[in-house]
Amino acid sequence: MASWFRRQRPRVEAPTLTPRDTAAGALRVDLAELAPAPDSFLGQCAALHLVFIEQLTAAMANAPRVADKDALARVAGVVFERYRGFTAELERLQLDKTDVMTPHLDSVEEFKRRTQGGEWHEQVASAHVAIGFLTDFWIRLAAGLPGELRGRVTAALTGGDIDGPMHRILERAIAANPTLASRLALWCRRLVGDTMLQARSALVLHGDRSKDEAQIEPVFTELIAEHTRRMDRLGLTA
Amino acid sequence: MASWFRRQRPRVEAPTLTPRDTAAGALRVDLAELAPAPDSFLGQCAALHLVFIEQLTAAMANAPRVADKDALARVAGVVFERYRGFTAELERLQLDKTDVMTPHLDSVEEFKRRTQGGEWHEQVASAHVAIGFLTDFWIRLAAGLPGELRGRVTAALTGGDIDGPMHRILERAIAANPTLASRLALWCRRLVGDTMLQARSALVLHGDRSKDEAQIEPVFTELIAEHTRRMDRLGLTA
């Protein structure tokens, strides 16, 4: 297991990474130096968003309540809009969707298979954890895209609200059945490993292990901190 | 089997139904007199569109080609926009989504189960046949909605293009593998019965069998003619 799995390690200041202001004003380290070229970035990101749509639609189909079906359909709609944003960039760059997405299909399919929940609450938790973590990740990775593309991709990645509605679905479900909390906490802990592996697969490493880790470490520390806050808000131990 | 299943019966002119012009200029009979109240109309129509999204997303997940995944995702996006249109009308009427959709969940779920294809081509054909037929049906049924609601619901039901992309996916698949044609023709013939039952379940009948049939018959004759044209365009015997 790579060292960035040890989330207890204290936050490292990485001088080679550019901190930048975010909407929330928080300091975010980014992954600019490890970002793939636009074709690979957009291809993997688009393929992954199709998997998110599948996850959300499966959860929608199995939702016992109409209100949850409706909320999950709307979240899938937001993901679809983001997907449409990435494919619009592919068209702008005159890149062929098939060429750029095909190399990533096996990897995202495997990710989907490994994070597929057995029942409804797990399916919702999977989508919440995976979309939350990976969106945070791809926003940081977008720092490595050239100029205007970076801005438009970041806008696509942050368009609409996903975290809020997903949180409310789970919050209500846990309140209605408090015994869910410990089961979902375990499930989410399992998920985060596969989710991090999916994220890491997008990075273009230099091959110099210590240099790579020095760049990756602070970002994943921060991503795990955000994941932990996401779990905390639900009263789940991350 | 009700008489409206016998599609060979000659077209009956039904003086009680109002013919109206369509975009294509064709004469369309409608189902105004058998239409349910707005709450039931919108509830069933919305629940059914969630099932369409599930069908399309399952087909997207199983599509072997990126181009088909992309096309199916976009069609699901169109269906979602239509769904959003129906739920916007529910909000406008201050109707609760749960109240109006819940009574229809079992029926649309059963419909989904019965029309679920075993493999990818069948899944795409199911979505094409079901969405095509039922959209034609709901457009005619919308004639029974009051004034402005009718216009907005019809606009939602006709927003975006679904038939075109679905046709092209199947056309290409059949061209690539001509032995598919006879299998899909049989599959679609099976589907249409369940699809017609789902449509019929939305009608509010007078209880006078001969009067009801006189109103239903010409509409279903026309719907089956449209279904047959849809199959013909694919070179499939309906």
Q: What is the mean pLDDT of each run of 10 residues along chain A (238 residues)?
A: 42 41 53 94 98 98 97 98 98 98 97 94 97 97 95 98 98 96 95 95 92 91 96 93
Chains A, B: CB contacts within 8 A come to: 66
- Residues B159-163 have a mean pLDDT of 97
Residue B20 covered by a domain? no
Q: Which domain holds residue A111?
A: 31-233
Mutation pick from A49, A66, A78 vs chain B, by most beta carbons of B within 10 Å, is: A66
Using CB atoms, pick whichever of B57, B66, B74 lies closest to residue A102.
B66
Secondary structure class of B17 (helix, strand, coil): coil
User: Could you tell me if B82 and B157 are in contact, meaning their C-beta atoms sit under 8 angstroms apart?
Assistant: yes
- Residues B87-105 have a mean pLDDT of 98
What phi and psi values does residue B166 have, to the nearest 5 degrees?
A: -65, -40
**If you average pLDDT over every residue of chain B, what do you get?**
90
Helix axes A209-233, A180-200, angle to 10 degrees: 150
Q: Chain A contacts of B101, Cβ < 8 Å?
A: 66, 69
Q: What is the pLDDT of residue B76?
A: 98
- Residues B159-171 have a mean pLDDT of 98
Q: Who's near A2: CB < 8 A, 6+ residues apart?
A: A200, A213, A216
d(CA B45, CA A131): 29
Check pLDDT > 90 for residue B224. Answer: yes
pLDDT band at B29, cuts 50/70/90?
confident
Diameter of chain B by CA atoms?
A: 52
- Which two tokens mark A18? 């550019």
- Segment B191-208, tens digit of pLDDT: 999 999 999 999 999 888
Q: Which residues pair with B210 in a beta bridge?
A: none
- Which two tokens mark A50? 């199709």
CA within 13 Å, CB half, B166: 28
Any CB–CB contact under 8 A between B127 and chain A?
Answer: no
**Is this complex scored with an ipTM above 0.90?**
no
Q: Chain B contacts of A73, Cβ < 8 Å?
A: 50, 53, 80, 83
Closest C-alpha among A238, A212, A236 to residue A7: A238
Q: Chain A contacts of B83, Cβ < 8 Å?
A: 73
Structural domain tally of chain A? 1
d(CA B120, CA A42): 26
- Which two tokens mark A147? 């100029």
Any CB–CB contact under 8 A between B97 and chain A?
Answer: yes
Q: What is the pLDDT of residue B237?
A: 86
Mutation pick from A45, A49, A50, A87 vs chain B, by most beta carbons of B within 10 Å, is: A50
Residue B211 covered by a domain? yes
d(CA A130, CA A145): 22
CATH number at residue B86: 1.20.1260.10
Diameter of chain A by CA atoms?
A: 52
Residue B19 covered by a domain? no
Residue A238 covered by a domain? no
Q: Who's near A177: CB < 8 A, 6+ residues apart?
A: none
Residues 189-208 of B with CB under 8 A from A: none
d(CA B172, CA B174): 5
Q: Who's near B14: CB < 8 A, 6+ residues apart?
A: B29, B214, B215, B217, B218
- Residues B48-70 have a mean pLDDT of 97
Closest C-alpha among A224, A219, A55, A232 to residue A140: A219
Residue B110 covered by a domain? yes
Check pLDDT > 80 for residue B23. Answer: no
Q: What is the pLDDT of residue B169?
A: 98
- Residues B66-76 have a mean pLDDT of 98
Look-up of token digits 């309140």: A175
Any CB–CB contact under 8 A between A77 and chain B?
Answer: yes
> Over B192-232, what HEC string results?
HHHHHHHHHCCCCCCCCHHHHHHHHHHHHHHHHHHHHHHHH
Amino acid at A191: L
Q: What is the pLDDT of residue A237?
A: 86
- What stretch of H or E contains A43? helix A38-62
Residue B86 covered by a domain? yes
Check pLDDT > 60 for residue B15. Answer: no
Residue A25 covered by a domain? no
d(CA B217, CA B5): 9
Are A61 and B80 inside 8 Å of each other by CB? no
Amino acid at A44: Q
**Closest-CA residue of chain A to B103:** A66
Kindly write down the DSSP assignment for every residue of A20-33, as one continuous string: EE-TT--EE---GG
Q: What is the pLDDT of residue B27?
A: 55
User: Could you tell me if B35 and B41 are in contact, meaning their C-beta atoms sit under 8 angstroms apart?
Assistant: yes
Other CB atoms within 10 Å distance of the CB of residue A129: 27
Residue A148 covered by a domain? yes
User: Could you tell me if B33 and B16 are in contact, meaning their C-beta atoms sit under 8 angstroms apart?
Assistant: yes
Are A65 and B98 inside 8 Å of each other by CB? yes
The percentage of chain B sitting over the pLDDT mark of 70, rounded to a whole number, equals: 88
